[in-house]
Amino acid sequence: MQNIPTVQSTAGLRRTIRRINFVLRPLQLMEERNKKYGDFYQVKFKDAPPTIMTSNPQAIEDIFTTSPDKFDVGIGNKGLNFLLGNHSLILLDGKTHKNRRRLLMPSFHGESLQESSNEIVSITNKICNTWQTDKPFKVRPPMQEITLRVIFNVVLGIDSAEKYERLRVLLTQLLETFNNPFSSLLIFFPSLQKDWGKFSPWGRFVRLKSEIRQLIYSEIQERRDLLASGKLDSRDIFSLLISAKDENGESLTNEELHDQLITLLFAGHETTASALGWLFYWTHYLPEVKEKLLLELASLGENPDHIAINNLPYLDAVISETLRIYPIASAAFGRIITKPISLMGHTIEPRTWILASIYSLHHREDLYPDPKQFKPERFLERIYSPYEYMPFGGGNRRCLGSALALLEMKLVTATILQRFELELVSKRLMSPVRRGITIAPPASFKMVVTKRNK
Ligand code: HEM
């Protein structure tokens, strides 16, 4: 890989500064490097193989269409096992990964998904009923509560809200550990993961995690007993997993069930809550966008049908633009090459990491003129290929919950915009910040209800 522009390896303090920079200023760092090295460059490390960073659509197409037996992904995500566990779908590779994806996929698509529509709207109404006029509120907590209740519903079943209240509160508290750029350093510097007692950040995390584990294990036992007595009749994902057999005809172990459930609960709500936060920000930062949305919604009449909302073109374009301008994941999972492949005329050797930058791809001038401007119309004027626009990644690791996330964003937005008139508390341009492994609106982002319509 001689001729690829190269960010040279660093050591000691400079290396630490580089990593801190990556955690605290991920988007600025990507922009600076794109300017200096282009859309296909490598970052060298002293004691590890290089990482190729790319935002070139051709390279991205080649990576996403390469046979999955030429790279691993799960092993590169092993830094997340402290949160998700070793059996998490996100940490798996090969046949087991393929098998588990095949098992879970149908629950997140088609008919199963449409059945969630009523619940999404009713959960949204329930949470928003508590909003009072003229009292500014932080946008994150209600959005997070909506998305967490929705994913509980999909994964744990229809009557989950009250039954799992304790679990819901614990999961929210656990994720608050990484709710700002500085606390996110805990994830990227394992040496900071020290239990100094229950008041230290890591000590608190460890205790919350252990209580969550116990709650999930006792639920697993309860459902196993129901299965054994022939009384397990629910159609949620938890029941599906309890009844499933692995590739050897064996039931999934308690440990695997725990890890898969935790993965779906976490991956299935944090991301969507951040996306909803941006959606409300942009639609109120740019009043003309909100006006157009309201006109489109009004064209459906009173009490619009959920399928009709899901098919609205301007709402769809606003959501696409929201996920373009600040994608929740700044890059797709790393692909670690296991057999030599050819990419952009170079032979890429095994053990090389390839990172496709979603943020840099979405900010290419040639694809998105004025990339820093929020312009939903671009998605009405042009159809982008999956290698030009990829908020949910791609290939064999493409986000499992993309259809659920999009449906949720549409129904939550339509429900809230029809019932309330909202305003931003601060009219200033808001910048994204790191939140754990994702990029999100700042936790301090506030809005205020100025009028209730219903
Ligand atoms: C706006 C919301 C969301 C965004 C932006 C998002 C984004 C992503 C991205 C970028 C990836 C990595 C894909 C790759 O490397 O190619 C991913 C993976 C994943 N997402 Fe999402 N996601 C969202 C919502 C959800 C929801 C609602 C679920 C529901 C369970 C979910 C579950 C997953 C899972 C399980 C994976 C791992 C897939 C695998 O390794 O095979 N995500 N997501």
pTM for the whole thing? 0.94
Per-residue pLDDT band at 159 (split at 50, 70, 90): low
Place of tokens 């037996």: 69
pLDDT grade for 38, boundaries at 50, 70 and 90: very high
pLDDT-derived band of residue 181, with 50, 70 and 90 as boundaries?
confident
Instruction: Choose which residue among 392, 396, 409, 438 to substitute to test ligand 1 binding: the one with the highest number of ligand atoms within 8 A of its C-beta.
Output: 392
pLDDT score recorded for residue 409: 97
Q: Which tokens belong to 4? A: 């690829």
Q: At 49, is the pLDDT very low, low, confident or very high (cuts 50, 70, 90)? A: confident
Q: Whose CA is nearest to atom 35 of ligand 1?
A: 400
Residue 1 lies in a domain: no
Which tens digit of pLDDT belongs to each residue from 250-272?
Answer: 889 999 999 999 999 999 999 99
- Phi first, then psi, for residue 177 (nearest 5°) are -55, -35
Q: How sure is the predictor about 158, in pLDDT bands with cuts at 50, 70 and 90? A: low
Confidence of residue 161 (pLDDT cuts 50, 70, 90): low
- Number of folded domains that form the chain: 1
Lowest mean pLDDT among 115-129, 223-237, 299-313, 369-383: 223-237
Asked if the structure places residue 64 within a domain, the reply is yes
The average confidence (pLDDT) of the chain is 92
- pLDDT the model gives residue 109: 85
Return the CATH number at 68.
1.10.630.10
> What is the model's pLDDT at position 164?
84
Q: Span 137-149, mean pLDDT?
A: 95
What's the gap between Cα 38 and its chain centre?
A: 27
19-24-28 Cα angle (round to 5) = 95
Q: If we measure between CA atoms, which residue out of 130, 116, 150 comes closest to residue 420?
A: 130
Which residue's C-alpha comes closest to atom 23 of ligand 1?
271
Mean pLDDT of 324-350: 96
Structure confidence by residue, pLDDT tens digits, 88-101 = 999 999 999 999 99
| 14 or 416, greater pLDDT | 416
Q: Is the CB of 439 under 6 A from ligand 1?
A: no
Report the pLDDT averaged over residues 127-143: 95
Residues 345 and 234: their CA atoms lie apart, in Å, by 52
Residue 196 falls inside a structural domain: yes
Q: Residue 374: pLDDT band by 50, 70, 90 thresholds?
A: very high
Domain ranges, residue 42: 6-452
- Indicate whether residue 224 lines ligand 1 (CB < 6 A): no
Question: Is the pLDDT score of 22 beyond 90?
Answer: no
- Residue 17 within a domain: yes
Question: Does 399 contact ligand 1 (Cβ within 6 A)?
Answer: yes
Q: Which atom of ligand 1 is nearest to the CA of 328?
A: 5
In a domain, 84, yes or no: yes
CA–centroid distance, residue 92 to ligand 1 (Å): 14
CA distances from 386 to 102, 106, 398 (A): 21, 21, 11
